[in-house]
Structure 1
Amino acid sequence: MNSTLIIIPARLASTRFPAKPLAPLIGADGIARPALHYTWQAGLAAARKIGSNARCVVATDDERIAELCQAQDMAVVMTPETCANGTERCAAALEVLGEQPDLVVNLQGDAPLTPAAFVAALATLIEADPSLAMATVAVPASPAVLAHLQSDAAAGRVGGTTVVRSSTGRALYFSKSIIPHVPPGTVPRENVLLHLGLYAYRPAALQDYASHGPVPLELQEGLEQLRFLDAGLPVGVAVCEAPAWEMIELNNPTDVPLIEAELARRAGLEPA
């Protein structure tokens, strides 16, 4: 890729955890910093992994987040409050910036534990296949993760998003149900793939997404990426090996100590 723009959508409005980008997280060094700081660091690590023509910017609709970014030397762009999801916010950020990079990466603001290698895998995948409009990441669900998903499903809870893909590696469908179906008491013939909310888009695909508008399946499942499939845009799925740490997202206040533990754990696993 000649140029890559990593956009970190961040907003304060959250039903489960209001103002979570500003929530303090204690890092491996024992210092508490806003959660967005750690996602920004993950973005910088991904930019370094991709190469010299990659950079990061935070996209927000809130002045408090913008002030934090400015105080901590994070590039930031203001986007409309009307953006319904992170993909729409990335499209809006690109329009405000007036840029046309070769690739746009959506690194969600509540995902500070995202490995840089996953972002690089997306860049490699979409560069190798010019027909792809968008690419995303999945990891094989381990037996323990699959059992957890099945337990959540039995209890009526949403435990994660799964994806099925074609033999050519393109997404066929995403769901908050377990797909493909795994009959009780059986071992799946193929791995159930756990989808991770990390995306890479071509700028034209982002524009198509924004103009296409929400679709029924997207609204029913609560999965923004289904709009790409409804529009007939090809979506590649990079299957990566799960990292040595748990990729917990900051969705609820109860996630704070879990993420802090993984930040410390990751620091002990990565080379100095």
Structure 2
Amino acid sequence: MKGVAMGVSTDLKIFDLTHEIPAFNIWEAAYRLSQTAQYYPAGTVFVSVCDPGVGTARHSVVLLTKSGHYFVTPDNGTLTLIAEQLGIQEIREIDEVKNRRRNSNESYTFHGRDVYAFTGARLASRTITFEEVGSKLPNEVVKIDYQKPIFENGSIKGGIPVLDIQYGNVWTNIDKKTAENLDLKAGDIVKVQIFNDTKKVYQGKLKLVHTFGEAEIGTDVCYFNSLLNFSLAVNQGNFSEKYKVYSGAHWSILLSR
């Protein structure tokens, strides 16, 4: 894919966000885009290919956000969070007659190379304009259902979109502002329940800390991560493996005092 992009223009600056999305995990691709895109300047072109439906009738699109970022991807749920976070300015369907790598028409299983990297590079290098990507589509994307953070009846319910996989920390989507409904401060004990669909997988009481060094090694803690979202960890351990807690749209968490 990088070779295809460089074949369009050697002046392009190409960066890797990640190559570690689990196979077929569209939800995690959506989350990683929403986690990182905000730090890049307007005009940046993102190519995201988590495409288990490659070669089928799903739409191949470029989404322009209200913040001025471009996302080149299959419209299969990957844009769920970006559309919410940055807003939709306009969406265009990639014209694969005009915007496809030459002599690739017989290839049906690598659109990342033949369509998305090629189109993204042409757009980023200004070889084509956004309007030349293809025809305009309604400002709607395929969305993945997930648990949004809500406060009701003295508890906060949220989702577990992703793990900090290197350390096994469990990241939720409960932001600090929502958590303020529980009037939490460092040192407080938080009651935590975790569910996979309706099955309760974990229940415990965790101390809220600013940083891991405030707890003994091996101690379970809760904290606000670098995105200021409520998270769970074992100091120098692995919360996910210890309690068999994982991530995705079917996982949810309930917090109370």
Q: Same fold (TM over 0.5)?
A: no
Q: Judging by fraction of residues, say which structure has more strand.
A: 2
TM-score of Structure 1 vs Structure 2, range by shorter chain: under 0.3
| TM-score w.r.t. length of structure 1 | 0.22
Specify which structure has the bigger relative contact order, considering alpha-carbon pairs within 8 angstroms and separated by 6 or more residues: 1
| TM-score w.r.t. length of structure 2 | 0.22
Rg: which structure is higher? 2
